[in-house]
Amino acid sequence: MGHPVEREPGEAAASELPPGQRLQRGWPVTHYGPVPKFRPERWEFRVFGATADGDKRCWSHEEFTALPYTTVLADLHCVTKFSMLGAEWGGIPARTILDAVPPASDVTHVMVWAEYGFSSNLRLSDFAAEHTLFATHKDGELLTAEHGFPVRLVVPHLYAWKGPKWVRGVEYMTADRRGFWEERGYHNIGDPWKEQRYSYQEEPGDGPEL
């Protein structure tokens, strides 16, 4: 199974790459659509949907970035077949959001929403994993706009499309629903160690019908 491999930044071995991946030096820019313009006075992070108390919660950018900060050494595996190993990500753990806004007892999945209506669905267990992080920094530096500033989700044990750039909120769901790329032929789960790249590879129970 794919678990984040903690190591010194830059340390890597080919045997640590998931099947079909190649080691990448540097960090290519890959995304769909334009880079959004950050307007701090309009920016907010929302948690909504099936919350335990039925209410939604919003943070301004100042409030969100004041939440407890942590760092994680973890890999990033892109479905386009490059892997970046041993990066240091800094930001707010997804578990912090779950603690601040508990989901209802029957929540099974989340939808992570980003700018321009982009979305990616995750099992609640993947979202709640120890290394899942709302990243604001990489290797001690603020993310650039092209790499997702002010906030991108990092889910090291899944392909990187499961961690959208320019995140604006999380929806708690009591049933699974496909996100943007999942509706367009990408695998509903996206485990790189099982090479779950495309929806035609899905087994019964991996996701909703297309």
Model pLDDT for residues 140-171, shown as the tens digit of each residue: 999 999 999 999 999 999 999 999 999 999 99
The pLDDT score that the predictor gives to residue 31 is 67
Single out the residue of 46, 2, 42 nearest to residue 21, CA to CA. 2
84-101 tens-digit pLDDT: 999 999 999 999 999 999
Give mean pLDDT, residues 126-135.
Answer: 97
Question: Angle at CA 16, nearest 5°, toward 10 and 19?
Answer: 125
Percent above pLDDT 70 for the chain: 90
Spatial separation of the C-alpha atoms in residues 205 and 79, rounded to whole Å: 21
Spatial separation of the C-alpha atoms in residues 193 and 19, rounded to whole Å: 6
Q: How many helices (H) and strands (E) does the chain have?
A: 3, 11
Spatial separation of the C-alpha atoms in residues 171 and 110, rounded to whole Å: 5
Spatial separation of the C-alpha atoms in residues 10 and 33, rounded to whole Å: 30
Note the pTM of the prediction, 2 decimals: 0.90
* 3: pLDDT strictly greater than 90: no
Q: Which residues contact 113 (CB under 8 A, 6 or more apart)?
A: 46, 119, 164, 167, 168, 169, 170, 171
Contact 27, 82 (CB under 8 A): no
Which CATH architecture best describes the domain 40-177?
Alpha-Beta Complex (3.90)
